[in-house]
Amino acid sequence: MMAKTILITGASSGIGRATALLFADKGWNVAATLRDPLRADSALRHPNISLFALDVTKADSIAQAVVDALARYQTIDVLLNNAGYGLFGPIEALDDRQIQQQFATNLFGLIGVTQQVLPIMRAAGEGLILNISSIIGRMALPYASSYIATKFAVEGLSESMRYELEPFHIRVKIVEPGSIATEFGKGSMQMAVRDPYRASMNKFLSVFTKSNSAGAKPEEVAKVIYRAANDSSNRLRYLAKPGPFFWLNRILPDAIWRRLLVKVMVS
């Protein structure tokens, strides 16, 4: 059987990198895309992985990477829209440029890559788009409003796309990680803070970053992504290590949930 091909955005670190390595070890062809392929570590120099430059905020870069990946592998069976980062801060402190950059990366970038890949999948008569959302694509926390807005948007976008792509045998799936120990909680977060939110946001950040660095390994998310990629059902959502906070949000009445969240994270 011919090996299948996956194109991954944001493969330099964390979930994207772990997924590239898992799929490559399983015998898939992996088009691993990075903003700067020169930054790829030695593990990514794997015989089943080809590296391509791709910045999801740049239309030319998306188009070129998709052309190059297609030339290398002749097909793209699965697209993993993974690239993203979190912008943190009270809404009053975020400037337009920061908010636009957040949406340009996490939402418009994902749309741009998807639009380039869809004609290839339609021509092939099948395909799978896997979008990385988050548990905070389904529940909100404070001080991350624009990051959370991008993930809620990814959820709605994906759910809508699944209906329009079904006639072409292209499935859409969403993977929702909980706290995962990656660069996300270290270098990748962007911050804006100011009074009178400072003390409360500092408490939130200390809880958030602690939970992030104690989070699950990105390899655990990669396994869920692999399962989703090989699941021929029409299931839409796959949780990946959601953690107890997610389940409490699902089961507690709103008034109790709100008091708990405020006590643990902000007051």
Ligand X SMILES: NC(=O)c1ccc[n+]([C@@H]2O[C@H](COP(=O)([O-])OP(=O)(O)OC[C@H]3O[C@@H](n4cnc5c(N)ncnc54)[C@H](OP(=O)(O)O)[C@@H]3O)[C@@H](O)[C@H]2O)c1
Q: Which are the catalytic amino acids?
A: 12, 133, 147, 151
Interface segment toward ligand X; rule CB under 6 A; list 79-87, 166-174, 197-205, 243-251:
79-87
Among 5, 29, 50, 105, interactor with ligand X by CB under 6 A = 105
Q: Report the candidate in 264, 251, 16 with the shortest Cα–Cα distance to residue 139.
A: 251
Question: Of 142 and 177, which CB lies nearer to ligand X in the complex structure?
Answer: 177
Burial grade of 57 (CB within 10 A; 0-12, 13-18, 19 or more): middle
Question: Of 118 and 141, which CB lies nearer to ligand X in the complex structure?
Answer: 141
Q: Report the candidate in 57, 143, 153 with the shortest Cα–Cα distance to residue 94.
A: 143
Amino acid sitting at position 259: R
Site for ligand X in 22-51 (CB under 6 A): 34-35
Among 64, 68, 183, 217, interactor with ligand X by CB under 6 A = 183
Own/partner pairs, 263-266, CB within 8 angstroms, 24+ separation: 264/207, 265/141, 265/142, 265/203, 265/204, 265/207, 265/208, 266/142, 266/200, 266/201, 266/203, 266/204
Interface mask toward ligand X for 238-267; x: CB under 6 A = ------------------------------
State how far the Cα of 156 lies from the Cα of 11, in Å rounded to an integer.
Answer: 24
Among 26, 46, 57, 191, interactor with ligand X by CB under 6 A = 57
Q: Quick check: 172 and 81 in contact, CB under 8 A?
A: no
Question: Of 210 and 259, which CB lies nearer to ligand X in the complex structure?
Answer: 210
Residue count, binding to ligand X (CB under 6 A): 31
Residue ranges binding ligand X (CB under 6 A): 9-10, 12-16, 34-35, 54-57, 82-85, 105, 109, 132, 134, 177, 179-180, 182-184, 188, 212, 215, 218
